[in-house]
């Protein structure tokens, strides 16, 4: 048993180190982006927000969008109210004079994927050539939209993923989430850099409207509560992987909030993990499963440590050290990019906690149900 565990831990450590270094290579393959020539975007753009019970956030987000340094004649803003029970819709209506359109869903309690319905409904009404999605609790700098759309035009892209970063943390738990989330954003960017798109975030995603319809919209994935971003990315990547880009620019960053407590955090991560079994690209499945197996091997090694089997101890120490080292090498340039290098002090603790949480989420996200926005979904 000890020999089997030692081999398992050794093998998975090697796989994990190689994978993380490969992803680091992918991040550095993407150059920092700056517009090649002066000018303003020429394509029309529809910014879409699906909102549910966001009265505390939606006004700030809309202020950021209506104040963008972007030609107003080329910009359309659509908010879809997803059965809010607070004053979200009333707040959005107050922005009508600033060019914001409100659409209300009226489907009742009979769907599992309201967000995809909201986005599809908005795209049906959208006049823009480029669809840009974000969330109702996000903040952007004034150059955000111009930067993303100029990148879209100059790269002649079909789909563009852009960075999302947590900010305005209130405590240590939220700072840990910020560091962990940078890891996830880096994985998505690195996959695109390596020509193998894996993940993205719907809080900062852009794609051509005609490509959305060419891919059949969300058909085939519309029964899942999550996946309006990643699973749609995979649909586009099946045919047009070379036309998917990542806008590596600080001006393109969208800022949002970490979860305020452990329950909300785990619920969010369960929702994200729930789509993993629906991935058609086996390379993406291999990446996720390999990371999960490595963390499982670490936990088994830690368990053996407490059982006092010294044969495993040295390998456990080496595996933990290599985990922290390669994660530092991967995440430190991401922290510099986001101007959050001070977070690197939290990496040793995060590396250990990360193993426990990833193994749990990998299981819990694919069985049972979870709560999201006041709904129980599966």
- pLDDT, tens digit (0-9, with 9 covering 90-100), for 260-315: 998 888 888 887 777 666 666 667 778 888 888 999 988 888 877 777 655 557 78
Tell me what the pLDDT averaged over the chain comes to.
88
CA nearest neighbour of 48 among 154, 271, 207:
207
Burial zone of 330 (CB within 10 Å; 0-12 exposed, 13-18 middle, 19+ buried): buried
Who contacts 304 (Cβ-Cβ below 8 Å, separation ≥6)?
2, 5, 312, 316
Tell me: pLDDT of 1 over 60: no
- Provide the pLDDT for residue 298: 87
Q: pLDDT tier at 316 (50, 70, 90 boundaries)?
A: confident
101-111 average pLDDT score: 79
- Provide the pLDDT for residue 77: 98
Tell me: pLDDT of 3 over 60: no
Higher pLDDT: 221 or 137? It is 137
- Provide the pLDDT for residue 248: 97
How far apart CA 273 and CA 288 sit, in angstroms, is: 10
Domain spans in the chain, listed from the N-terminal domain onward:
2-26+282-366, 33-259
Residue 332: alpha-carbon gap to chain centroid? 19
Q: pLDDT tier at 238 (50, 70, 90 boundaries)?
A: very high
- Provide the pLDDT for residue 375: 55
- Provide the pLDDT for residue 89: 95
- Provide the pLDDT for residue 111: 57
- Provide the pLDDT for residue 53: 94
Return the minimum-mean-pLDDT range out of 67-71, 218-222, 249-253, 318-322: 218-222
348-368 average pLDDT score: 83
Tell me: pLDDT of 51 over 90: yes
Which residue intervals of the chain are DSSP H helices? Answer: 2-29, 58-66, 88-93, 114-125, 144-154, 172-193, 209-214, 230-240, 262-273, 282-307, 310-337, 347-364
166-200 b/e (C-beta count within 10 Å ≥ 16 → b): beebeeeebbbbbbbbbbebbbbbbbbbbebbbbb
- Provide the pLDDT for residue 334: 97
Alpha-carbon distances, residue 132 vs 4, 33, 220, 229, 352 (angstroms): 49, 19, 22, 11, 36
The rounded percent of the chain whose pLDDT value lies above 70 is 89
326-330 average pLDDT score: 96
- Provide the pLDDT for residue 276: 65
Tell me: pLDDT of 326 over 80: yes
- Provide the pLDDT for residue 303: 79
Let me know if domain 33-259 sits in CATH 3.90.550.10. yes
H or E segment to which residue 81 belongs: strand 75-81
Higher pLDDT: 302 or 49? It is 49
Q: pLDDT tier at 354 (50, 70, 90 boundaries)?
A: confident
262-284 b/e (C-beta count within 10 Å ≥ 16 → b): eeebbbbbbbbbbbbebbebeeb
- Provide the pLDDT for residue 371: 60
**pLDDT tens digits for range 165-214:** 999 999 999 999 999 999 999 999 999 999 999 999 999 999 999 999 99
Return the minimum-mean-pLDDT range out of 184-188, 213-217, 224-228: 224-228
Tell me: pLDDT of 86 over 70: yes
């Amino acid at each position: 048993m000890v020999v089997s565990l030692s081999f398992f831990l050794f093998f998975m450590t090697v796989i994990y180190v190689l994978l993380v270094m490969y992803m680091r290579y992918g991040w550095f393959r993407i150059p920092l982006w700056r517009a090649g020539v002066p000018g303003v975007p020429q394509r029309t753009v529809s910014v879409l927000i699906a909102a549910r019970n966001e009265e505390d956030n939606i006004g700030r987000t809309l202020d950021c969008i209506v104040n963008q340094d972007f030609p107003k004649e080329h910009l359309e803003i659509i908010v879809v109210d997803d059965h809010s029970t607070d004053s979200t819709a009333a707040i959005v209506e107050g922005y009508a004079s600033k060019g914001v359109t409100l659409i209300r869903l009226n489907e009742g309690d009979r769907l599992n994927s309201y967000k995809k319905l909201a986005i599809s409904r908005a795209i049906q009404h959208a006049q823009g050539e480029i669809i840009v999605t974000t969330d109702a609790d996000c903040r952007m700098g004034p150059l955000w939209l111009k930067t993303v759309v100029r990148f879209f035009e100059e790269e002649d892209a079909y789909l563009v993923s852009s960075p999302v970063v947590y900010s305005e943390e209130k405590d240590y738990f939220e700072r840990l989430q910020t560091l962990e989330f940078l890891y996830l954003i880096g994985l998505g960017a690195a996959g695109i850099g390596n020509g193998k798109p894996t993940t993205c975030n719907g809080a900062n995603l852009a794609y051509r409207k005609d490509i959305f319809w060419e891919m059949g919209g969300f058909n085939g994935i519309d029964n899942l509560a999550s996946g309006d971003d990643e699973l749609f990315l995979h649909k586009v990547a099946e045919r047009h992987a070379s036309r998917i880009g990542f806008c590596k620019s600080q001006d393109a960053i969208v800022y949002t909030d970490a979860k305020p407590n452990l329950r909300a955090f785990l619920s969010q991560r369960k929702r994200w993990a729930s789509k993993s079994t629906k991935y058609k690209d086996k390379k993406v499945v291999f990446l996720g499963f390999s990371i999960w197996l490595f963390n499982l091997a670490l936990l088994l090694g830690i368990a053996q440590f407490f059982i006092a089997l010294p044969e495993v101890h040295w390998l456990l120490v080496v595996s933990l050290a290599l985990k922290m080292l390669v994660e530092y090498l991967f995440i430190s340039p991401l922290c510099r990019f986001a101007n959050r290098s001070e977070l690197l002090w939290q990496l040793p603790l995060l590396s250990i906690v990360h193993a426990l949480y990833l193994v749990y989420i990998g299981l819990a996200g694919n069985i049972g149900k979870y709560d999201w926005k006041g709904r129980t979904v599966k």
